[in-house]
Chains A and B, each alone.
Chain A
Amino acid sequence: MNESVANQKISEVAQNVAKLMRLVIVGHVDHGKSTLVGRLMSDTGSLPEGKLDFVRDICERQGKVFEFAFLLDALEEEQEQGITIDSSQIFFNTKKRHYVIIDAPGHKEFLKNMVTGAANAESALLLIDAYEGVQEQSRRHGYILKLLGLTQVAVVINKMDLIDYDAEKYYRIKAEYEKFLESLGVEAKQFIPVSAKLGVNIAQRSDEMPWYTGPTVLEMLDQFENMPPPDHLPFRLPLQDVYKFDANRVLAGRVESGRVKKGDKLVFSPSNKTGIVKNIEAWSVPNPPSEASAGESTGISLTEQIFVERGEIASLASEQGPIVSSTFDANLFWMGKRHLEKGRTFTLKLTTQEVPCEIIEFKKVIDASTLETVPDRDYIVKNDVGELTIKTRTPVVFDLFGSIPETGRFVLVDEFDVCGGGIITTYTPVAKEDKLKEEARYRDSNWIASNITPEERAYRNGHRPALILITGNAGVGKSRLACLLEEKIFKSNFQSYLLDGHNVRLGVGADIDNEEYFSSGEAVRRYGEVVKLFLDAGNVVISTSNVFNRQDHSDVRLLLEPNPIVEILVSDETTPTGKPDVVLSLEEAQKETEAVDKIIAELKAKKILTGHNYSI
């Protein structure tokens, strides 16, 4: 049994040797981040030969007391200011594995650097000065780690030497910060009392704090786990580019989640185009790959060439597809000099998509230094965070951050600069428009097709399916005209059907009371879906629109796309609203036979009534 345990241990080490753990160290300015990093390097023997002496020498020349922090401050300017400007990357090793630490600075001005460091890390140490206690940046950085999705966090209470290793003071800070993290829904893996300056509880324990029995910082680090690539999630491949260097057309991109193999059927969003994977393309590999999984920058060729561009996201037809919408809710942090506010246009960058967007609602604006909600504010200032609703000019493709993080996060660009980062928390199609598009999209992509194609039906019927909508004020004779039109078309041996919205309400809408039926949008939706069935059966559907307004008309259009809708307006107005295909004056509408002929002529001109045995 012992042997087996021993073998497991050895194998764990073997696993981690090759892997690099990306670690970020965050916290308030002057709480000792650079000192901790310097100490970690020195105590693990990771400093290049002579580096310690080199820095000691500079300190002596500049008349300063040596500090471990100076090991990091390679830039002249930084040493003058005594703060670390940017997240530099430093490598060190424990017996278990390699680490790269990103020394994220704590000065408020440099939040964007902290974000850069932390966004690229898998685990974090958050430092709090035992003497100063929880400060502004302690909270802000905590919140941002949460927003970035970093869950492997240990809190290091530093400078214990300054409070005489007082257990009571330590527990007070721990309780305060624990409570704060709890309000965020974050659980710290561990709290560790240390003195980075003196090397207490970093690599070695010492006698000063017998009351602390937990791991040292290095022991804690070795307990963090490398994040496996998310290849168990549904497949997502945002297109970066399409290459045509030779006869082969290759779709290039990085698999963000899931896996794909030869022969898989792909669906591209938002275009809804589909294709079959012919090959996974690669150059100079011993064996041509037959599949690609999360994290791989790959290339895909399809059995048939289709026109798709950068920005589309490929998913598998057999798996849950992404969401396509132009509105969604997000949690966001803001680093811009100008405020994030309504009425301005920003560029949203999500995977390889780039679209103009604006903020349509601020649900909650939070002061990140206290985590208190700022009441009645509809803008976000630099370094603060908020919950908001974003509307994009054209629909974007995404997943919720909670289901696939890689396709559920975005940045906002103000003019030329990346100024904000956010995660998509919820998608409730607020706009009715989005809801209907989503419905139509889902319905069309899951529709069980019959053996008879729409073209075959059109050939047999002598016409394409279409909806003819007769509009105009009440009492202008729309219903009579509709009845006559149906009859005339039917007698020409075509499949016409008069569908009144009232008839749909009687049966299909019988489960909802009258008021709700019309106010909830169900009247339009159910009518649209019934028309859709008739159109799928190949009919020319004729309706009047006494119960629908102009907005309802465009909703019906959304549900019926790409079928043609022909609008016949009966009106004397010289400038009619909307875009009717035929306008009949009241006088013309009263001459019914001529009016019907005029409509039929229009349907022929539009190649809807084509005549029998006409191949389209």
Chain B
Amino acid sequence: MNDGLYDSIIFNPAARQTTVLFGRWIFWIYISMEHLADLENQSVFILREAYKKFKNLAMLWSIGKDSTVMVWLARKAFLGHVPLPLVHIDTSYKIPAMIEYRDRVAKEWGLNLVVGQNKKALDEGMNHEKGRIVCCEALKTQGLQSAMEEHNYTGLILGIRRDEEGTRAKERYFSPRDKNFEWNFKDQPPELWDQFKTTFAEGTHIRIHPLLHWTELNIWEYILHEKIPIIDLYFSNKEGKRYRSLGCAPCTAPIESQASTVEEIVEELKNIDTAERSGRAQDQEDTYAMQKLRARGYM
């Protein structure tokens, strides 16, 4: 046997592996964060395509973990810059800490923040007691629709993911919406070899989903890897509860959890078997709640 520490080290970047020969022993060391780099590369490619192909594009920032990761990815794509307006639809029922976090991060990162609100519906007293789906449609879908009309946006970048729930699993990276905001999920454009639908009939607008291929666990692993500042509501509080998905205060419930750091959340998610959006009341309104909401323009 060789007296040295090892016989040889062969680094093979193509396979992302290092082979260490030690006597008749072979060790392979793998770079475990490689899958995050793949996810990041794909999202950056999509963000750059979107920015190049569409004028009047905005990014929807819900303040949650996904869209905050998306803003971070935009900074990766545009080398520290975010050359797009960030739209936040404020239903007025958001958890107050979200607004504080939003304004602080927007300032720190130099973001161009645009806040949209359906004031008319709020003046008329819209709230979840009138029906959760009705309320979501008025305050979120219509709030978004009027913000888009006001600013003349023809495209919107959203941080939805396929693994969130069934209808989102059916989405495309570049997904057209007709002039009534409707999603024709039965007749969607093909997407192959990263060639996306970028030309449209008059009146259509586009939704772009750069995080479609990420999972909830991926998002947290990436937050850990990149040290992205995430709102405290996701971390376990004194009562042993944390939010797993953020929304309006009346319709969003925290889960029982002791996870108070990003590392602990990553560990928790590796062993969890409940759905991410189980704390979101509107999803449970009826069997096809999300399909109905999303076909009419919900995020």
A3-B25, A14-B28, A15-B28 known; A74-B167 Cβ under 8 A: yes
CA gap between A296 and B274 in the complex, in Å: 34
The contact of B48 among A241, A293, A409, A421, by CB within 8 Å, is A241
User: For residue B30, which residue of chain A has the nearest CB?
Assistant: A15
Report whether A418 and B189 are in contact in the complex, using a CB–CB cutoff of 8 Å. Answer: yes
User: Across the interface, do B52 and A76 meet the contact criterion of CB distance under 8 Å?
Assistant: no
**0/1 interface trace, chain B 181-204, chain A, CB 8 Å (1 if under):** 000011011111101010111000
Q: Tell me the chain A residues, 207-249 only, with Cβ under 8 Å from chain B.
A: 228-229, 231-232, 240-241, 243, 245
A76 & B288 in contact (Cβ 8 Å cutoff): yes
Q: State the Cβ distance, A311 to closest chain B Cβ, in Å.
A: 11
Q: Is the CB of B226 within 8 A of A284?
A: yes
Selecting from B72-80, B99-107, B236-244, the interface stretch reads B72-80
Residues of chain A with a CB closer than 8 A to B14's CB? 228-229, 231-232
B11 within 8 A of A: no
Q: Which residues of A contact B108 (CB under 8 A)?
A: none
Check A306 for interface membership: any CB of B closer than 8 A: no
Interface 9-residue window, one of B38-46, B113-121, B126-134, B146-154: B38-46
Task: Check: A493 CB closer than 8 A to any chain B CB.
Answer: no
Q: Is B250 an interface residue (CB 8 A)?
A: no
Residues of B within 8 A of A (CB-CB), count? 64
**Is B81 close to A, CB under 8 A?**
yes
Task: Find out whether the CB atom of B169 lies under 8 angstroms from the CB atom of A7.
Answer: no
Binds A, one of B55-63, B87-95, B158-166, B251-259: B158-166
Residues of B within 8 A of A254 (CB): 41, 45
A20 touches B35 (CB 8 A): yes
CB contacts under 8 Å to A, within B9-30, are 13-17, 24-28, 30
Cβ of A245 and Cβ of B190 under 8 Å apart? Answer: no
Question: Is B28 within 8 A of A11, CB to CB?
Answer: yes
Question: Is A86 a contact partner of B28 (Cβ separation < 8 A)?
Answer: no
B3 within 8 A of A: no
Question: How many angstroms from the CA of A116 to the CA of B52 in the assembled complex?
Answer: 23
Q: Are A11 and B26 CB-contacts (below 8 A) given A88-B169, A283-B76, A293-B13?
A: yes
Given contacts A284-B76, A284-B226, contact A120 B192 (CB under 8 A): yes
CB-contact partner of A85 in B76, B162, B185, under 8 A: B185
A297–B51 alpha-carbon span in the complex (Å): 14
A295 and B41 in contact (CB under 8 A), knowing A11-B26, A86-B185? Answer: yes
Take A11-B26, A112-B189 as given contacts and tell me if A295 and B79 are in contact as well, using a CB distance cutoff of 8 Å: no
Cβ of A335 < 8 Å from any Cβ of B? yes
A243-B79, A245-B81, A284-B76 known; A297+B193 contact, CB < 8 A? no
A4 within 8 Å of B (CB atoms): yes
Contact of A18 among B34, B52, B170 (CB under 8 A): B34
> Given contacts A74-B167, A299-B79, are A418 and B200 in contact (CB under 8 A)?
no
The number of residue pairs between A and B whose CB atoms lie closer than 8 Å in the complex comes to: 164
Give Cα A232 to B15, complex, Å: 11
Q: B215 at interface (Cβ–Cβ under 8 A)?
A: yes
Interface of A (DSSP majority class): mixed
| Min CB–CB distance A505 → chain B (angstroms) | 49
Is B137 an interface residue, CB under 8 A from the partner? no
Give the distance in Å from the alpha carbon of A280 to the alpha carbon of B44 in the complex. 15
Q: Find residues 43-96 in chain A having any chain B CB closer than 8 Å to their own CB.
A: 48-50, 58, 74-77, 85-91
Q: Quick check: B226 and A7 within 8 Å, CB to CB?
A: no
Chain B residues within 8 Å of A119, by CB? 191-193
| B49 located at the interface, meaning its Cβ lies under 8 Å from any Cβ of chain A in the complex | yes
A418 touches B197 (CB 8 A): yes
Contact present for A75 and B28 (CB under 8 Å): no
Max chain A C-beta neighbours (<10 A), residue from B33, B37, B45: B45
Q: Which B residues are CB-close (under 8 A) to A295? A: 38, 41
* B83 interface contact, C-beta 8 A: yes
A416 touching B41 by the CB < 8 A rule?
Answer: no
A91: chain B residues within 8 A (beta carbon): 163, 215
A480 proximal to B (CB < 8 A) = no
CB neighbours (8 Å) of B1 from chain A are none
Contact flags (1/0) for B247-275 with A, using CB distance below 8 Å?
00000000000000000000000000111
Which residues of the partner chain A approach B81 to less than 8 Å between Cβ atoms?
Answer: 245
A241 engages B51 (CB within 8 Å): yes
B25 with A7: CB separation less than 8 A: yes
A409 and B193 contact, CB distance less than 8 A: yes
A90-B169, A349-B195 as given contacts; A297 in contact with B77, CB under 8 Å? yes
Chain A nearest CB, measured from B85 CB (Å): 16
**In the complex, what's the smallest C-beta–C-beta distance from A178 to chain B, in angstroms?**
27
B79 lies within 8 A of A281 (CB) = yes
Q: CA A49 – CA B275 in complex, angstroms?
A: 8
The residue that A115 contacts in the complex, of B49, B163, B190, with Cβ under 8 A, is B190
Contact among A296, A347, A417 for B41, CB-based, below 8 A = A296
CA distance A344 to B288 in the complex (A): 43
A4 cross-chain contacts in B, Cβ below 8 A:
24-26
- CB nearest neighbor in B for A423: B193
Q: What is the CA–CA distance of A296 and B81 in the complex, to the nearest angstrom?
A: 19
Determine the residue in chain A with the shortest Cβ distance to B201: A416
Provide the residues of chain B in CB contact with A335, threshold 8 Å: 190
Instruction: Give Cα A3 to B83, complex, Å.
Output: 56
A189 sits at the interface (CB 8 A): no
> Are B166 and A75 within 8 A (Cβ)?
yes
- Whether the pair A88, B166 counts as a contact (CB closer than 8 A) is yes
Q: A19 to B30: give the CA distance in the assembly, Å.
A: 11
Q: Is B245 at the interface (CB under 8 A from chain A)? A: no
Task: State A91–B164 Cα separation when bound (angstroms).
Answer: 11
Q: A138-160: which have CB < 8 Å to B?
A: 148
Instruction: Point out the residue from B27, B42, B188 that lies within 8 Å of A11, measured CB to CB.
Output: B27
In the assembled complex, the Cα of A310 lies from the Cα of B199 at a distance in Å of 17
If A119-B192, A283-B78, A284-B75 are given as contacts, then 17 extra A-B residue pairs at C-beta distance below 8 Å, sorted by A number, are A4-B25, A7-B27, A8-B26, A17-B32, A48-B275, A58-B287, A75-B288, A76-B288, A112-B190, A116-B191, A231-B13, A240-B48, A241-B52, A245-B79, A411-B192, A415-B199, A416-B197
Interface pairs (29), CB distance under 8 Å: A11-B30, A15-B17, A18-B30, A18-B34, A48-B273, A48-B274, A49-B274, A74-B169, A74-B170, A75-B166, A75-B291, A89-B162, A91-B215, A115-B192, A116-B191, A116-B192, A119-B192, A119-B193, A229-B14, A240-B45, A245-B80, A245-B81, A283-B78, A284-B80, A296-B37, A335-B190, A410-B195, A416-B197, A417-B189
- Pairs A-B, 8 closest by C-beta atoms: A74-B166, A119-B192, A112-B190, A88-B169, A297-B44, A11-B28, A49-B273, A411-B195
